[in-house]
Chains A and B, each alone.
Chain A
Amino acid sequence: KAGVTQTPRYLIKTRGQQVTLSCSPISGHRSVSWYQQTPGQGLQFLFEYFSETQRNKGNFPGRFSGRQFSNSRSEMNVSTLELGDSALYLCASSLEAGVREKLFFGSGTQLSVL
């Protein structure tokens, strides 16, 4: 069974641009969560999607958005990139929503903003 797949693995963007990251959950998993990982702040929750609906959102500005498709694949978008958005973005999937005890993480997308 394939794990959580995130693409691309690396991204380099410049300030002001926008970026879209993709996450394909484990087959059969319907919930996808996104986390931002930085050396200073550690891992911070961005949002969770289940059945194409956002269930929870962390404390991030509106520049960060996401969506989930009918096949459970998810994308997150960051608009008007800032230097501080440089981070590893991790996606995690689970069978059901709110199941924090059975999260499976992808390897992440490393975003560098220049």
Chain B
Amino acid sequence: GDSVTQMEGPVTLSEEAFLTINCTYTATGYPSLFWYVQYPGEGLQLLLKATKADDKGSNKGFEATYRKETTSFHLEKGSVQVSDSAVYFCALAGYSTLTFGKGTMLLVSP
């Protein structure tokens, strides 16, 4: 079945550091891929998405590229801010539902 594997956290960075959160997936076919973000005490918000191979999703300085060859969708940001502290979930759209990774907590210190 479908599965998503994310790097375990927490990821601890200083403000303005470069961020990478790894995500790989297993699925039949070529599913759409997503990154969701969950701030403390809130639900999930869609951060970015890519619907086909080589697509790059981007939003709020975050980027991720759909790599079919490596079945990956790594999240990157060039310069993180304290306000980016949250839990980040990689997900894929399967036949009938979304399959999520277990989430990676990001902590950014001033």
Q: Which residues of chain A have a CB within 8 Å of any CB of chain B?
A: 4, 33, 35, 41-43, 45, 48, 55-56, 58, 90, 92, 98, 100-101, 103, 105-108
Per the bound structure, the CA–CA distance linking A55 and B99 in Å amounts to 17
Given contacts A45-B97, A92-B44, A105-B44, 4 further A-B contacts (CB under 8 A): A42-B102, A48-B96, A90-B43, A92-B43
Instruction: Say yes or no: A56-B97 contact (C-beta < 8 A), given A43-B89, A100-B32, A101-B32.
Output: yes
Per the bound structure, the CA–CA distance linking A56 and B95 in Å amounts to 10
Per the bound structure, the CA–CA distance linking A45 and B49 in Å amounts to 19
How big is the B interface, by class? 20 to 34
Chain A residues near B45: list those with CB within 8 A.
Answer: 105
Per the bound structure, the CA–CA distance linking A35 and B43 in Å amounts to 11
User: Could you give 24 example pairs across A and B, Cβ below 8 Å?
Assistant: A35-B100, A42-B89, A42-B100, A43-B89, A43-B98, A43-B100, A43-B103, A45-B97, A45-B98, A48-B96, A90-B43, A90-B44, A98-B96, A100-B93, A100-B97, A101-B32, A101-B93, A103-B46, A105-B36, A105-B43, A105-B44, A107-B41, A107-B42, A107-B43
Report B64 CB to chain A, min CB distance, Å: 15
Nearest 10 Cβ contacts at the A-B interface: A105-B43, A42-B102, A100-B93, A43-B100, A105-B44, A45-B97, A56-B96, A107-B43, A100-B98, A106-B43
What 1/0 mask marks residues of chain B from 12 to 42 whose CB sits below 8 Å from any chain A CB?
0000000000000000000010101000011
Report B37 CB to chain A, min CB distance, Å: 11
A108 B43 Cβ-Cβ under 8 A: yes
Report B52 CB to chain A, min CB distance, Å: 12
Report A33 CB to chain B, min CB distance, Å: 7
Per the bound structure, the CA–CA distance linking A90 and B94 in Å amounts to 19
Chain B residues near A108: list those with CB within 8 A.
Answer: 43
Chain B residues near A58: list those with CB within 8 A.
Answer: 97
Chain A residues near B34: list those with CB within 8 A.
Answer: 101
